[in-house]
């Protein structure tokens, strides 16, 4: 890699790539969940067997603190609200307000379809009963993730919400970060655990029995679904318990792609790439442009900006990593093709005609239209959700929302005449699949002896089924 440039160049100009070649050309971080499996399995097994005792041991090992209260006392959460900086509280409350407004609009309505007289199929949307929400706390604290998980779950009607987040090393009592606790209290969630990492996923999946008097006999009941982002060990644990409980997704490192043309502001592009790189050394920052001049200007702006940002070392590692790069294209159409192949978690569109570009985007976790809709707006306060598909999974997956916490369930309602009209056809279908008892189940409602195959047609005719 050239020392002159922060980001490597992926030059697609003049190339006619197949779909497979285009996918292969995209910069991507390695997930590495397979390597983490052998480290995570003993954690899952231990928490399943020993419950709260194992959770305390792992907190001491990984977080270097042994929490007295694994379940956060409600008084500590109320105190956190009282101590919260008024400006931060105002920002949190505005984020909640906007998120609630969008989530309320997402709630799906039941519907029914009448197929014939006495033949109706309807669909109900039923909330998941109990959900475990994971909120990370590694390189940064994420009260925003509390909002993004809790608000749509509440809008969906989930009746039991539990939150797990790591204990803070700055808290002598072994409780989580106070801003996270205050956010939970503002949202009305009082079941919060000072538990992080793969052990939190195990607690949600299997439940955890208490080990100290303050835990009670049962510290935490198992949940039906686990949502929320986390590090490689959290992602691996979620993948391993999937099937025992539902999960939203196995999240990889966060990422941004920006489609920009010659009219884009290179300083803003550089700032947006840096903003995403700040998350993690493995974060992906990708610029897709048909303007070599813009690419060069962005590289120059990075040289000026990266050393001046607080987490410059982390940003530098991210931007120079194999998961980041500037993709040069022949034209806007090839830029769109590259963006669809990359399937970014966050996709910014900074072009002369953003609506024309957006109309052709098939794969993105969320789309940020125009220069005044940068990704950090979505991280905190746009009203959209920032829990989004990563690692190219936006080709088939969507971000977290109200639908994540609801199940569509069909209700089949046929009366006697509705079933009678189809009885002979259902039987014929069943016999063709060599499942005659299926047909006999239906015919039993209209004829005396569905097991007498020699007279079956005659019986059907007499019953008016033919």
Catalytic residues: 345-346
**Residue 231 is assigned to a ligand binding site:** yes
d(CA 121, CA 411): 6
**Residue 94 is assigned to a ligand binding site:** no
CB atoms within 10 A of CB 271: 17
Helices (H) and strands (E) in the chain, counts: 18, 16
Cite the beta strand spans of 374-458 per DSSP E: 406-414
Helix axes 197-206, 33-50, angle to 10 degrees: 50
How deeply is 36 buried, as exposed, middle or buried, from its count of CB atoms within 10 A (0-12, 13-18, 19+)? buried
d(CA 335, CA 287): 10
**Residue 346 is assigned to a ligand binding site:** yes
**Residue 41 is assigned to a ligand binding site:** no
**Residue 403 is assigned to a ligand binding site:** no
Helix axes 266-277, 292-305, angle to 10 degrees: 60
- Among candidates 197, 163, 164, 208, which has minimal Cα distance to 48? 208
d(CA 176, CA 139): 14
**Residue 33 is assigned to a ligand binding site:** no
**Residue 311 is assigned to a ligand binding site:** no
In angstroms and rounded to an integer, the radius of gyration of the C-alpha atoms of the chain is 27
**Residue 379 is assigned to a ligand binding site:** yes
Annotated binding site for NAD(+): 134, 199, 231
Annotated binding site: 134, 199, 231, 254, 276, 279, 346, 379, 433, 438
Annotated binding site for substrate: 254, 276, 279, 346, 379, 433, 438
Annotated binding site for Zn(2+): 276, 279, 379, 438
């Amino acid at each position: 890699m050239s020392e002159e440039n922060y980001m490597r160049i992926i030059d697609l100009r003049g190339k006619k790539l197949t779909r497979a070649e285009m996918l292969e050309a995209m910069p991507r971080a390695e997930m590495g969940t397979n390597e983490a499996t052998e480290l995570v399995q003993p954690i899952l097994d231990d928490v399943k067997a020993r419950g709260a005792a194992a959770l305390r041991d792992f907190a001491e090992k990984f977080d270097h603190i042994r929490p007295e209260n694994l379940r956060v006392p409600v008084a500590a959460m109320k105190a956190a609200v009282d101590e919260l900086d008024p400006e931060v509280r105002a920002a949190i409350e505005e984020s909640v307000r906007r998120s609630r407004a969008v989530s309320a609009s997402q709630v799906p309505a039941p519907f029914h379809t009448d197929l014939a007289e006495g033949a109706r199929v309807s669909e109900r949307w039923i909330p998941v009963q109990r959900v475990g929400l994971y909120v990370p706390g590694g390189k940064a604290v994420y009260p925003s993730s509390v909002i993004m998980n809790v608000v749509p779950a509440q809008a969906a009607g989930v009746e039991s919400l539990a939150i797990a987040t790591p204990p803070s090393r700055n808290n002598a009592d072994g409780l989580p970060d106070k801003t996270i606790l205050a956010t939970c209290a503002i949202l009305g969630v009082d079941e919060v655990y000072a538990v992080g990492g793969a052990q939190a996923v195990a607690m949600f999946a299997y439940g955890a029995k208490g080990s100290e008097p303050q835990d009670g006999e049962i510290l935490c009941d198992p949940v039906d679904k686990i949502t929320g982002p986390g590090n490689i060990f959290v992602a691996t644990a979620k993948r391993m318990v999937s099937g025992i409980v539902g999960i939203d997704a196995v999240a990889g490192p966060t990422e941004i792609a920006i489609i920009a043309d010659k009219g884009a502001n290179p300083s803003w592009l550089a700032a947006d790439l840096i903003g995403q790189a700040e998350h993690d050394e493995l974060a992906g920052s990708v610029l897709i442009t048909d303007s070599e001049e813009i690419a060069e200007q962005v590289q120059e702006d990075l040289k000026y900006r990266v050393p001046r940002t607080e987490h410059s070392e982390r940003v530098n590692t991210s931007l120079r990593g194999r998961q980041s790069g500037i993709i040069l294209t022949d034209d806007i159409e090839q830029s769109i093709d590259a963006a669809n192949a990359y399937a970014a978690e966050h996709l910014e569109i900074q072009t002369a005609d953003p609506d024309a570009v957006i109309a052709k985007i098939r794969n993105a976790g969320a789309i940020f239209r125009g220069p005044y809709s940068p990704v950090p707006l979505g991280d905190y306060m746009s009203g959209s959700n920032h829990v989004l598909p990563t690692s190219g999974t936006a080709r088939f997956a969507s971000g977290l929302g109200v639908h994540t916490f609801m199940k569509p369930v069909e209700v089949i309602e046929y009366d006697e005449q509705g079933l009678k009209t189809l009885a002979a056809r259902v039987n014929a279908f069943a016999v063709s699949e060599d499942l005659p008892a299926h047909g006999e189940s239906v015919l039993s409602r209209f004829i005396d002896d569905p097991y007498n195959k020699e007279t079956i047609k005659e019986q059907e005719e007499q019953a008016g089924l033919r």
